[in-house]
């Protein structure tokens, strides 16, 4: 089995009435920590708040974006370890330069990750044989053909998707190569940033264990 990370992103959302990163000082803070500014800011007069959305900086292969409408700071890269390191630096900027009290002002942190997972097994058969489709006979009558599951999701029982503490791990055969690879989408959200970063640090092994469990059940 070969895991190939396709997308890895962590977004931090604040509940502050005024988003703190709305002044030109944000560029000074990023430069001081050796971030490369994505687009040089226009010369603003001293004092006014500026409202930015989009990519504002990068460090190595990690991009930083802001969305002042959602009070959101996003960090995205192609390496979990490097992205988590840069995320930690962004947290430091918020705490040290803009005096954000995370205990009071953090709304939630959300992780989004996508994986392409190549396997010696046939993912199309593995997924279809792993899940017992409820109402299978009834669906067959309705559709006049035998049916099965094509994808499945793992979520916390009894928790609404709109909750600030929620996760979903969705697994399906990769659409273009269904007999060769899985496509896995991960969302993990929590009000404690340490909970999210700890989950992220162990994400590769978590996904590997889930796929192994599915495949071993059919051995």
Whole-prediction pTM: 0.90
Structure tokens at 208: 């590997």
**Which parts of the chain fold into alpha helices (H)?**
25-32, 80-92, 102-105, 123-130, 136-143, 193-201, 203-216
Per the CB < 8 A criterion, the answer to whether 23 and 50 are in contact is yes
> How far is it, in rounded angstroms, from Cα 40 to Cα 88?
24
pLDDT digits (tens, 9 = 90+) for 113-133: 999 999 999 999 999 888 776
pLDDT band at 24 (very low <50, low <70, confident <90, very high): confident
3-state secondary structure of 106: strand
Q: What is the mean pLDDT of residues 1-24?
A: 89
> How far is it, in rounded angstroms, from Cα 56 to Cα 190?
25
pLDDT digits (tens, 9 = 90+) for 37-72: 886 555 554 555 667 778 999 999 999 999 988 999
The structural domains of the chain, with segments of one domain joined by +, span: 2-216
Residue 39 has a pLDDT of 64
> How far is it, in rounded angstroms, from Cα 145 to Cα 187?
33
- Smallest CA-to-CA distance from 91 within 167, 15, 22, 14 is with 14
Residue 45 has a pLDDT of 45
> How far is it, in rounded angstroms, from Cα 107 to Cα 64?
19
Torsion sign, CA atoms 93, 98, 103, 107: negative
Residue 41 has a pLDDT of 52
Residue 47 has a pLDDT of 53
């Amino acid at each position: 089995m070969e895991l190939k990370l396709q997308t890895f992103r962590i977004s931090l959302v604040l509940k502050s009435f005024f988003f703190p990163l709305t002044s030109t000082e944000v560029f000074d803070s990023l430069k001081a920590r050796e971030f490369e500014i994505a687009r040089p800011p226009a010369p603003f007069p001293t004092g006014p708040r500026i409202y930015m959305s989009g990519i504002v900086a990068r460090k190595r292969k990690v991009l930083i974006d802001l969305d002042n409408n959602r009070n959101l700071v996003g960090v995205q890269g192609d390496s979990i370890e490097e992205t988590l390191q840069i995320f930690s630096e962004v947290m430091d900027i918020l705490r040290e330069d803009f005096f954000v009290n995370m205990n009071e002002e953090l709304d939630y942190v959300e992780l989004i990750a996508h994986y392409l997972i190549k396997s010696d097994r046939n993912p199309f058969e593995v997924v279809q044989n792993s899940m017992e489709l409820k109402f299978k006979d009834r669906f067959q009558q309705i559709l006049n053909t035998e049916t099965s599951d094509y994808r499945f999701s793992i979520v916390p029982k009894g928790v609404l998707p709109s909750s600030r503490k929620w996760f979903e791990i969705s697994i399906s055969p990769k659409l273009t190569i269904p007999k060769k690879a899985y496509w896995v989408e991960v969302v993990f959200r929590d009000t404690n940033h340490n909970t999210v970063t700890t989950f992220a640090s162990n994400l590769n092994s978590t996904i590997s264990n889930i796929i192994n469990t599915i495949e071993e059940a059919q051995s």
